[in-house]
Amino acid sequence: MQNTQILTNFALLKTEAMQTNPDLKKDLSFEDFKTEVLNDYKLAVTSRECSLLGRREVLTGKAKFGIFGDGKEVPQLALAKAFKDGDFRSGYYRDQTFMMAIGELNIQQFFAGLYGHPDLAHDPMSAGRQMGGHFATHSLDESGNWKDLTKQKNSSSDISPTAGQMPRLLGLAQASKIYRQVKGIDTTNFSEKGNEVAWGTIGNASTSEGLFFETINAAGVLQAPMVMSVWDDEYGISVHARHQTTKENISEILKGFQRDEDNKGFEIFRVNGWDYPALVETYQNAGKIAREEHVPVLIHVNELTQPQGHSTSGSHERYKDENRLAWEAEYDCNVKLREWMIANGIATDEELKAIESAIKKDVREGKKAAWIAFTQPLKQEQQELLALLENVANSSANKVFITKLKNDLAEIKEPIRKDIISTARKALRYVVSESTTEKTQLVNWINAYFEKIQPKYSSHLYSESPKSALTIKEVKPTYDESSEEVDARLVLRDNFDAIFGKYPETLVFGEDAGHIGDVNQGLEGMQAKYGELRVSDVGIREATILGQGIGMALRGLRPIAEIQYLDYILYALQIMSDDLATIQYRTSGRQKAPLIVRTRGHRLEGIWHSGSQMGGIINLVRGIHVLVPRNMTKAAGFYNTLLESDEPALIVECLNGYRLKEKMPSNIGEFKTPLGVVETIREGSDITLVSYGSTLRIIEQAAKELQEVGIDAEIIDIQSLLPFDLSHDIVKSVAKTNRLMVIDEDVPGGASAYILNEILNTQNAYKHLDSKPQTLAAQQHRPAYGTDGDYFSKPSVEDVFEAVYNVMHEANPSNFPKLR
């Protein structure tokens, strides 16, 4: 391309940019243009240098693993130019250049991330919780309050599972549509008229994942403003595109998504990753289309390379032939940018060499500073313990052994915390039977160390802000003379009505949630009242329903994502587990997605409509509250509680409860069910029966029948599996009855094992037991169809009766003779 033509292109681009920023100069002089390109080149070289040195740090043992953005620098510069304040990125581990270009990652921070520095001030991406190459910006301040996201460039926090960034991208984009089109939402901090674009990045091989295709289709349907970049280097680790993608060409096979005069769809661009001016132009166009028209765009960036191979775990010489390696050297995007600059008179070879060597020095210095900052506190802690151990040794009969431990620790030049604390804990064993002040000092030191250091690795699994769901107080439902017994779904519906009226930023979406008001009509009439954007039908796509919710919640909306049946949550469970459950944790509290996942389950029909797999769920979603209300009033109260809080939760309504009668509370929309609080629904003295959800109705019937033979059972409804009985009320019941049975419709060893562990280990109920603690669960197989299928698969009234009776028989055979 000729100099003048490039200049014209840039000038045009600048003129467009000017429309949103009148302060920019109208014409771009050649000097300005040069400065801008040179600045880009500096970023590209800095980023590359970080990758090269980063790999060395791993290979010399200073960091554990490295995955870098080398070979993908230039397209990311183009992306950064089109990226505006308020926009969001949802991408993957190659994007360091972009993060540097938007000013959110410097050299020292890059290396702090590589070392795993557990301090946000040094590693703002994750405080050392994620491996390097997983990027994020801070949406929240240190108290957990929203920052003004419209005044900063935003990146949702990355996750490692390939294509896992896709579902959330959909929601990040959809939020702009909501902010642009739904009236009455306070957009402060979140949006300027819905002008924000959500920018996705993904590797070519990762487009093979179902999540990619599901998201692309959904974005086309929703017409959400997202720009999706595919960084195509022909490989996914060692596996070539011929094994990954039909026709080895993702934009070719996605052609059917291209919009035309008659149909809405995508705009699709293809561009080579080493062609700087073409990239800049493409990204400007893409940004404009998405921003102004709210049309999704796909940019297939071809001919990218991996100068150092996939990661530090291997070398690409094992699977790329000489020709490919030679081609990669020639088409390295930084090399091509350099050639282009020289060819167009932007800089001379000499000038660029001077820039490159200055940058090399900067990167070395930044790396050194990061290493010193990382190791300094550790060395200090080492010295502190060494001094203490010296004293402990001198006052101990086991001086030789403690001195040996001390000397071993002293020899470690660059200690990690494991070296330090494990030495202290081992030393303590040598003075266990001594009673010196030095021993007490050591004990105190170890305890204080854990108190100080453990939170660096364990904080923020749940919200630590004043809006934590655990701080929301109970408000009981009230009833007056006019309160009628109604179908329970109406309690939910009227409560949703109150919610949508009270909080304009709430919205619900799911399969059949819109027009018919969900399969059980808990949302009947809501779409007509609140519009199709707030109460929506969506495609059958559970993973992206979840992701849509995450993305919108990350941008300040309060989505309720509906999964039609609990059984089908398995499609979304990966995203719940990998993304939603870890958001606060992996950002050390700097991002949150207070998404409510609504679903229905427990005891209905057959293998895929019984909704019983709670054990699997609770163990995969720590970080999300899991609530199992036994009726719709309790469920409605949970929605009300959660909307006052800033945390994500899963609410499982009882599938067979919608048509049962419940009294309509007079304080609809106001009453709140507290989290982590159990409820005793029947008092008794002989045994404590613990359960949740629909199974409780079976247990209540069994308890009546047990009473007839003289067994007085107490029944406790757990209500909230995560968090679990925060004030330890169950053990108080066991202290009274001295017997315990956990009843659950999940498989043996499923949720019942979790519940038993909480009661026996956490609450120490074993002390009070006169009989073996029992669990009564379903069969190992999935429930068979029909009423008989249910009877022979899940605990029945007779099963509960006999199991409880047997406990009493064992305790008192003369009063309770053997049944069978």
Ligand X SMILES: Cc1ncc(C[n+]2csc(CCOP(=O)(O)OP(=O)(O)O)c2C)c(N)n1
The residue ranges that bind ligand X (CB under 6 A) are: 94, 160-162, 203-206, 231, 233, 235-237, 310
Query: Could you tell me if 149 and 187 are in contact, meaning their C-beta atoms sit under 8 angstroms apart?
Result: no
- Nearest by Cα to 738 from 699, 703, 767: 767
Residue 91 touches Mg ion, criterion: CB under 5 A: no
Alpha-carbon gap, residue 291 to 278, rounded angstroms: 20
**Cα of 672 vs its chain's centroid, Å:** 26
Report d(CA 23, CA 20) in Å as an integer.
9
Asked whether the beta carbons of 158 and 93 are under 8 A apart, the reply is yes
Contact 340, 41 (CB under 8 A): no
277 vs 307 by CB, closer to ligand X: 307
Select from Mg ion, ligand X, none the partner in contact with residue 774, using the beta carbon and a kind-dependent cut-off of 5 to 8 Å.
none
CB 149 within 8 A of CB 98: no
Q: How far is the CB of 162 from Mg ion (least distance, A)?
A: 10
**Cβ of residue 361: shortest distance to ligand X, in angstroms?**
29
Does 328 help bind Mg ion (rule: CB under 5 A)? no
Q: Are strands 679-682 and 649-654 parallel, antiparallel or unpaired?
A: unpaired
* DSSP output for 755-814: HHHIIIIIS-GGGG-SS--EEE---SSPPPSHHHHHHTTS--HHHHHHHHHHHHHHH-TT
Decide: is 233 part of the binding site for Mg ion (CB under 5 A).
Answer: yes
Per-residue contact string for residues 202-221; x = within reach of Mg ion by CB under 5 A? -xxx----------------
Helix or strand holding residue 155 (H, E) = strand 154-155
Grouping H, G, I as helix, E, B as strand and the rest as coil, residue 239 is: strand
Structure tokens at 229: 């970049």
| Minimum CB distance to Mg ion smaller for 157 or for 204 | 204
CB-wise, 101 or 205, nearer to ligand X? 205
Minimum CB–partner distance for residue 298 and Mg ion (Å): 16
Spatial contact of 774 and 738, defined as CB atoms under 8 Å apart: no
Considering only residues 336 to 355 of the shown chain, the ones binding Mg ion according to CB under 5 A are none
Segment interacting with Mg ion (CB under 5 A) among 7-15, 225-233, 473-481, 685-693: 225-233
SS3 167: helix
Q: How far is CA 592 from CA 322, 433, 505, 558, 765, in A?
A: 47, 48, 16, 11, 36
Closest CA to 41 of 498, 410, 366, 346: 346
Residue 496's closest CA among 533, 530, 472?
A: 530
Catalytic residue among 138, 243, 300, 609: 609
Q: How far is the CB of 382 from Mg ion (least distance, A)?
A: 42
Pick between residue 204 and residue 548 the one whose CB is nearest to Mg ion.
204
3-state secondary structure of 725: coil
| 800 HSE (CA, 13 A, CB side) | 32
- Cα separation, 504 vs 186, whole angstroms: 8
Shortest distance, position 238 Cβ to Mg ion, whole Å:
11
The nearest distance, CB 71 to ligand X, in angstroms, is 8
Residue 635: name the closest of 597, 586, 605 by CA. Answer: 597
Distance CA(550)–CA(338), nearest Å, equals 40
By C-beta, is 110 or 500 nearer to ligand X? Answer: 110
Which CB sits closer to ligand X, 233 or 567? 233
**Closest-CA residue to 601 (of 572, 640, 630):** 630
- Tell whether residue 201 is a contact of Mg ion (CB under 5 A): no
Cα separation, 819 vs 625, in Å, equals 41
CB of 219 to Mg ion, least distance (A): 21
The phi and psi torsions of 157 (rounded to 5 degrees) equal: -70, 130
Q: Which is nearer to Mg ion, 332 or 494 (CB)?
A: 332
- What is the C-alpha to C-alpha distance for residues 532 and 559, in angstroms, rounded to an integer? 14
94 contacts which partner out of Mg ion, ligand X, none, CB within 5 to 8 A by kind?
A: ligand X
What residues contact residue 213 under an 8 Å CB cut-off, 6+ apart? 207
Candidates 128-136, 196-204, 623-631, 702-710; binding stretch for Mg ion (CB under 5 A) = 196-204
Query: Could you tell me the smallest distance in angstroms from the CB atom of residue 408 to Mg ion?
Result: 45
Check binding of 95 to Mg ion (CB under 5 A): no
Q: Which does 206 bind (CB under 5 to 8 A by kind): Mg ion, ligand X, none?
A: ligand X
- Name which of 254 and 632 has its Cβ closer to ligand X: 254
Shortest-Cβ-distance residue relative to ligand X = 203
616 makes contact, choosing from ligand X, Mg ion, none, with CB < 5 to 8 Å by partner type, with none
Sign, CA torsion 708/709/711/717: negative
Stretch that binds Mg ion, among 166-174, 229-237, 452-460, 713-721 (CB under 5 A): 229-237
Distance CA 684, CA 698 (A): 16
Nearer to ligand X, 274 or 754 (CB): 274
Between 301 and 687, name the residue whose CB sits nearer to ligand X.
301
Nearer to ligand X, 135 or 235 (CB): 235
Give residue number: closest CB to Mg ion.
Answer: 203
**Which residue's entry shows tokens 């940058």?**
359
H or E element in which residue 276 lies:
helix 276-288
Q: Least CB distance from residue 1 to ligand X, whole Å?
A: 27
Q: Residue 233 Cβ, how far from ligand X at the closest point, in Å?
A: 5
**Among residues 622, 618, 546, which one has the least CA distance to residue 584?**
622
Among Mg ion, ligand X, none, what binds residue 752 when CB lies within 5 to 8 Å by partner kind? none
Residue 218 CB, nearest approach to ligand X (Å) = 19
Q: How many CB atoms lie within 10 A of CB 680?
A: 15
Name the DSSP class of 664.
P
Taking residue 736's Cβ as centre, other Cβ atoms within 10 Å add up to 15
Task: Based on the shown chain and the rule CB under 5 A, indicate whether residue 132 belongs to the binding site for Mg ion.
Answer: no
Instruction: Find which of ligand X, Mg ion, none residue 590 binds, CB within 5 to 8 Å per kind.
Output: none
Query: Could you say whether residue 637 binds Mg ion (CB under 5 A)?
Result: no
User: Considering the rule CB under 5 A, would residue 752 count as an interface residue with Mg ion?
Assistant: no
Looking at the Cβ atoms of 237 and 784, the one nearer to ligand X is 237
Residue 674 interacts with which of Mg ion, ligand X, none, CB < 5 to 8 Å by class: none
**Beta carbon nearer to ligand X, 191 or 308:** 308
Number of residues that bind Mg ion (CB under 5 A): 5
Respond yes or no: is residue 117 known to be catalytic.
no
Q: What angle do CA 548, 551, 553 make, to 5 degrees?
A: 105
Minimum distance from residue 231 beta carbon to Mg ion (Å)? 7
Minimum gap (Å) between residue 205 Cβ and ligand X: 3
Binding site for Mg ion (CB under 5 A): 203-205, 233, 235
List, by residue number, the catalytic residues.
609
